[in-house]
Amino acid sequence: MAESVLSISGIEKTFHGEGEDCPALSGVSFNVASGEIVCIMGPSGCGKSTLLRIIGRLEHEDKGSIRTIAEHVGEGVSAAMIFQDHALFPWLSVEENIIYGLRLSAQKIPDTEMQRRVDDLLSLIHLTSFARSLPHELSGGMKQRVSVARALAIRPSILLMDEPFSALDIFTRRELEDEILRIRQELKTTILMVTHNPEEAVYIADRIIILSERPGVVAGIITVTLPHPRSPADPDFIRIREEVAGRVKGRNEVGCAIQHE
């Protein structure tokens, strides 16, 4: 087994509202190995996004620890996040959107190196001829590929993706899933991805972590050893997909009635 690049231990998180506390995560622990693709699944509102935000340091845990082992020592970057809605700046070109992430990061990167990285990433996502295009000139799938490139630009030791493809149609989604598998193959990127789609999880994951209803605890871990490329029509694939779907229970929204006014 490759060494762990991420080690999560005993994560607790409660949101405090007016009069009502909303426990979101309770004692969540797991490790992610270097180069592994791990999918997180669970009923709506069970704390998947909260967990990802905590790992990406966009939210504070109440208790527990997160240890990331940066592979690029000295660059000081551990995790990069990709959201469902791609979050590109509409007034910046594809190239400028990718560079933006680099400029924001604490890394001191010379301009020539920056341009080289952007060119490499554009070629990786097959968008070299769209370098100067604006986001509105791209399809949904192309925009999401740009946000993947932007996240990869800082060379994170782990890529965090929160339902990144759920707004895309099934064909574009499959294309992007294949792209993620190819990027992992080429760059050995470690990927932690939230999805509510059992087929997607079985298609790309090495392991699937299933959280219970809120407050989320790890209710099960399913290891998928099918060789790539995987076929959703394969009987073994279907059997694992059914098992995953069956273990992700309580599909109703279980959010707390916290007033935000």
Q: Which residues bind ligand ADP (CB under 6 A)?
A: 15, 17, 22, 24, 42, 44-50, 214, 255-256, 258
Q: How far apart are alpha carbons 215 and 172 in whole angstroms?
A: 33
Smaller CB separation from Mg ion, 80 or 211: 211
Give the nearest distance from C-beta 49 to ligand ADP in angstroms.
Answer: 3
Q: Which of 49, 68, 78, 189 binds Mg ion (CB under 5 A)?
A: 49
Smaller CB separation from Mg ion, 135 or 164: 164
Binding partner of residue 22 among ligand ADP, Mg ion, none, CB under 5 to 8 Å per kind? ligand ADP
Smaller CB separation from ligand ADP, 42 or 198: 42
Give the nearest distance from C-beta 149 to ligand ADP in angstroms.
Answer: 25
Q: How far apart are alpha carbons 248 and 198 in whole angstroms?
A: 9
As a whole number of Å, the CA-based R_g of the chain is: 19
Stretch that binds Mg ion, among 17-25, 42-50, 195-203, 210-218 (CB under 5 A): 42-50
Give the nearest distance from C-beta 196 to Mg ion in angstroms.
Answer: 8
Smaller CB separation from Mg ion, 156 or 164: 164
Give the nearest distance from C-beta 18 to Mg ion in angstroms.
Answer: 23
Binding partner of residue 45 among Mg ion, ligand ADP, none, CB under 5 to 8 Å per kind? ligand ADP
Give the nearest distance from C-beta 158 to ligand ADP in angstroms.
Answer: 18
Smaller CB separation from ligand ADP, 125 or 218: 218
Binding partner of residue 215 among ligand ADP, Mg ion, none, CB under 5 to 8 Å per kind? none
Smaller CB separation from Mg ion, 83 or 100: 83
Q: How far apart are alpha carbons 141 and 208 in whole angstroms?
A: 24
Binding partner of residue 87 among Mg ion, ligand ADP, none, CB under 5 to 8 Å per kind? none
Binding partner of residue 56 among ligand ADP, Mg ion, none, CB under 5 to 8 Å per kind? none
Give the nearest distance from C-beta 139 to Mg ion in angstroms.
Answer: 24
- Spacing of C-alpha 163 from chain mean position: 7
- Of the candidates 149, 40, 35, which has an alpha carbon nearest to the alpha carbon of residue 95? 149
Smaller CB separation from Mg ion, 80 or 193: 193
Buried/exposed code over 171-202 (b: 16+ C-beta within 10 A; e: otherwise): ebbbbbbebbbebbeeeebbbbbbbebbbbbb
Using an 8 Å Cβ cutoff, are 55 and 44 in contact? no
Give the residues lining the site for Mg ion (CB under 5 A): 49
